[in-house]
Amino acid sequence: MLKKSHILFWLLLLSAAISECVIAATFWGNIDLLTYNFPWAQISAQHWLGLYRPQYAGTYQVNYPPLVPTLLWPFGQIINHFGLSITTGSGAHKAAAFLTIKLLGMLFQWLTAGFIYWKANSRRLSLVLGTLVLLNPSIWFNASFWGQADALLIFFIVVSFYYLQQQRFGWASFWFALGCLTKLQFMYLAPLFGLYLLLKARWPQVLACVSGIIGLNLLGWLPFMLAMRQPLLPLKVFTSGVTQYTEIIANGFNFWAGALKARIWSKQLRNTDHITSWLTYNHLNTVILVLIIISSCIWFWCVAKKKVAALPLAYTGAIYSGLIFMFTMGQHERYQLSMLAFVILLLLSQTEKNDLVRPLLWYSSVTLMTFLNQAVFYLSVYLKISSLQGFALALRLGGIINTLLFLLLVGELIWHRPQEVDYAK
């Protein structure tokens, strides 16, 4: 017989799923859906191997790795079969169209909650932790209101780094490779994954994991590379994704949003603009990113030499992804969700209720700021605010608060220094 906690979790999951589906079907904001998700689903269903061909993609070419548009294939089949549209048709048809195109993100939120419930160290905590993820307002807004697929990013970070933390390197590499096939943002996490792998695994294991990740990614890209006769297609998609957005402030609540003057928004300052005659903002951004990676290398070297005590991987990942979001340019309003994924992993790592105080502080803080960041941006566009002054003020205030909050959380963590648990024992 099913345990009471299992039954209760399934009931909560069913209730959350019904609620999210109702929201998805009745909220008809089509920001990004009309230009990206919806046509990508249709293209995937009609011309899967032609996903990256301009003649099929039209103006808004697919700039994601192949797993997301491939996972949109069944939803595209439903859309094409029933002739669904998010702009025309009866109310029932539009509701069905919005629900269909938003289902992918919601499904992966439910999968993340189920994984947390399944893998929690304590049965007493599994229901609490699973419910926290299931009812997370930031992920709800992202998936059921907006219709974005960032829940996939969260799921693959949580699962891959969970297995890495458990030192089950084969499974960790498998899920990390799938993550790389999902979102370009996963590339930011490659140094962190590699450094932890070098710290904990033996050289034969490291070589096997790296080979497996590269091989699985090549396998995922291979049908499209052959169809388009472009062996460098992954590099082309990656560089187009990197260069597509040139704004220094891309609506993220980070240091740059808080530090730069309000006039920046109206002047659309870009990373190609010069600070001096020989230094552009893009150069400065590259230096910052390289410094974050070098600092991470130094930290792991000190840990390996036992000069400092290791932090739990979830904290290390949250700080690393937080540094990238807060201090590099071009960070969108949704990109801090990678930090939220590591905080969810932090919850999963706890064994007792009295261990939850600091993780819950991180979880509530990051959830609140990611929710507000997405909501402020989305509603300003959805409500068609004519003046940028109010949005610019909210963006700057959000940037200041979020950066200071992040620094306070990291400072408190450094002060108390929780120790890493050896999961290999």
Share of the chain above pLDDT 90, in %: 69
Domain count across the chain: 1
101, part of any domain: no
33, part of any domain: no
Q: Are 372 and 398 in contact (CB under 8 A)?
A: yes
Say yes or no to pLDDT of 265 above 50: no
| Higher local confidence (pLDDT), 70 or 63 | 70
Q: Are 79 and 70 in contact (CB under 8 A)?
A: no
Candidate from 20-29, 56-65, 77-86, 365-374 with smallest mean pLDDT: 56-65
**Residue-level pLDDT at 385:** 67
Considering just the CA atoms, what is the radius of gyration of the chain in Å? 22
Please, which pLDDT band fits residue 69 given cuts at 50, 70 and 90?
very high
126, part of any domain: yes
Please tell me whether the overall predicted TM-score, pTM, comes out greater than 0.75 for this model.
Answer: yes
89, part of any domain: no
Helix (H, G, I), strand (E, B) or coil at 221: helix
| Higher local confidence (pLDDT), 280 or 420 | 280
Q: Are 232 and 241 in contact (CB under 8 A)?
A: no
Residues in the chain: 425
Share of the chain above pLDDT 70, in %: 92
**Residue-level pLDDT at 333:** 94
- Measured at the CA of 214, the angle between CA 39 and CA 327, to 5 degrees, comes to 70
81, part of any domain: no
Say yes or no to pLDDT of 86 above 80: yes
Candidate from 60-64, 191-195, 274-278 with smallest mean pLDDT: 60-64
Please, which pLDDT band fits residue 424 given cuts at 50, 70 and 90?
low
Task: Kindly write down the DSSP assignment for every residue of 360-386, as one continuous string.
Answer: HHHHHHHHHHHHHHHHHHHHHHHTT-S
- The amino acid at 348: L
- The amino acid at 90: S
| Burial state string for 215-251 with b = 16 or more CB within 10 A and e = fewer than 16 | ebbeebbeebbebeeeeebbeebeeebeeeebbbbbb
Say yes or no to pLDDT of 257 above 80: yes
**Residue-level pLDDT at 273:** 81
391, part of any domain: yes
177, part of any domain: yes
> The domain containing residue 280 runs over which residues?
107-416
Say yes or no to pLDDT of 30 above 80: yes
54, part of any domain: no
Averaged pLDDT, 321-345:
96
Q: Are 295 and 163 in contact (CB under 8 A)?
A: no
**Residue-level pLDDT at 1:** 44
Average pLDDT, the chain: 90
pLDDT digits (tens, 9 = 90+) for 162-197: 999 999 999 999 999 999 999 988 999 999 999 999
Task: Kindly write down the DSSP assignment for every residue of 315-346, as one continuous string.
Answer: HHHHHHHHHHHHHSSS-BTTTTHHHHHHHHHH
Q: State how far the Cα of 328 lies from the Cα of 288, in Å rounded to an integer.
A: 7
**Residue-level pLDDT at 263:** 46
Candidate from 61-75, 319-333, 350-364 with smallest mean pLDDT: 350-364
Q: Nearest 5°: phi and psi at 53? A: -85, 130
